[in-house]
Structure 1
Amino acid sequence: MRVLGQYVKDLSFENPGHPPVQTQPNIDLGIDVGATPHADGNGLYEVSLKLSAKATADQTVLFISELDYAGLFQLQNVAEDQLEPMLLIECPRLLFPFARRIIAEITREGGFPPLLIDPVDFVQLYQAQYRRAAAATSAGTDTPQ
């Protein structure tokens, strides 16, 4: 596996209300991972790590942050059954520290304490996505057409 590049695909920070916060805000965090073959082929894949965070306190939205951070990876000599786990577990694991730093910096620049996202278990995330996809597929085949 080679990392050929890393980049911000999309970044958004909204600061709709910035009242002084006396209590710890509630933070809803979302994480999604995706991978697509690159148009050039040659074992190239774009892996996208999407992080979203919404902070609220007393029914007031303090900030909303969304980041789509991607990497261009070249995979060679990977068995077909190992390709998907490699793309959706190992590649995001390499991207995560950089995306985490961007989220921390953008929240700090927005006037809040830096949001330091806890480490992510990408194996567990992959397994959950796999179960949801399998359930959706089986639900789709069970419905009459």
Structure 2
Amino acid sequence: MSDAPSSPIPPNGPSNGQQQAMPLQLNIQYTKDLSFEVPGAPEIFVNLREQPRVDLTLDVQARPVEGQQNVYEVSLQIRADAKVQETSCFIAELVYCGVFTVNIPQEHLEPVLLVECPRLLFPFARNILADVTRDGGFPPVLLAPIDFVALWQSRRGGQQVGTA
């Protein structure tokens, strides 16, 4: 006989022979592609008299990782194109990715992949873009927070219009 008191619930939660899977797990994050170009260097630095206008485009993509169940690569694609009048100052392109394990019902998969996952990646991508533009000789591009819900909803609206 054991002297230890018995507990109706094991210390690590209920045991049914398998561990409970986390609904969302970030396995790894990485820079997949990074490009920074100053087409008019070095003249642009001598002639630059005003703050460049920066046009930003952002896209989010998700795809299953081949051979893995419930594992997806989510990529945040950001392009910053800076100009003064019509003169290009710099072009920065970043593809920042994360590999996520997602254990949720299928009907919730799309918003998790296209809203929650990029929300986790965004602060790191924002920092990389700020660093590369600053290191390139320009004021850092500081991205404002992104409303990934609105981005996802506008994307769905565009798809629904096209398929209806």
Same fold at TM > 0.5: yes
> 1:23 & 1:31 partners in 2: Cα distance?
25
Partner residue in 2 for 1:47: 74
Letter of the 1:14 counterpart? E
Q: Does 1:8 align with 2:31?
A: yes
5+ residue gaps, structure 1, are 139-145
- Deviation of residue 3 (structure 1)? 0.4
Which structure carries more helix by proportion? 1
Write out per-residue CA displacement over residues 16-38 of structure 1, whole angstroms, 9 at most, x where no aligned residue.
12234322211110000010011
Matching residue of 1:58: 85
The match for 1:79 among 93, 101, 105 is 105
The number of aligned residues is: 137
Q: How many Å separate the matches in 1 of 2:67 and 2:30?
A: 18
- The two structures, once aligned, show a CA RMSD in angstroms of 1.0
Task: State the partner residue of 1:104.
Answer: 130
Is 1:25 paired with 2:52? yes
Deviation at 1:104, TM superposition (A): 0.4
- Give the corresponding residue for 2:13: none
Relative to the length of structure 2, the TM-score reads: 0.80
Secondary structure in 1 aligned to 2:49? coil
Q: State how far apart, in whole Å, the 1-side matches of 2:67 and 2:99 are.
A: 11
Q: 2: distance between equivalents of 1:134 and 1:2? A: 30
- 2:129 aligned with 1:93: no
Question: Does 1:132 find its partner at 2:158?
Answer: yes
| Secondary structure at 2:124 match in 1 | helix
Cα distance between partner residues in 2 of 1:101 and 1:40:
32
Distance 2:84 2:68 in 1: 47
Q: Secondary structure at the match of 1:116?
A: coil
In 1, Cα distance between equivalents of 2:163 and 2:125: 31
Structure 1 distance, partners of 2:33, 2:82, is: 19
For residues 21 and 85 of structure 1, the distance between their equivalents in structure 2, rounded to whole angstroms, comes to 43
CA shift for structure 1 position 86: 0.2
Q: 1:141 maps to what in 2? A: none
**1:70 counterpart residue number:** 97
Structure 1 CA distance for aligned equivalents of residues 86 and 64 of structure 2: 42
Select 1:38's aligned residue among 56, 61, 65. 65
Moved over 6 A (4+): none
Structure having the higher Rg: 2
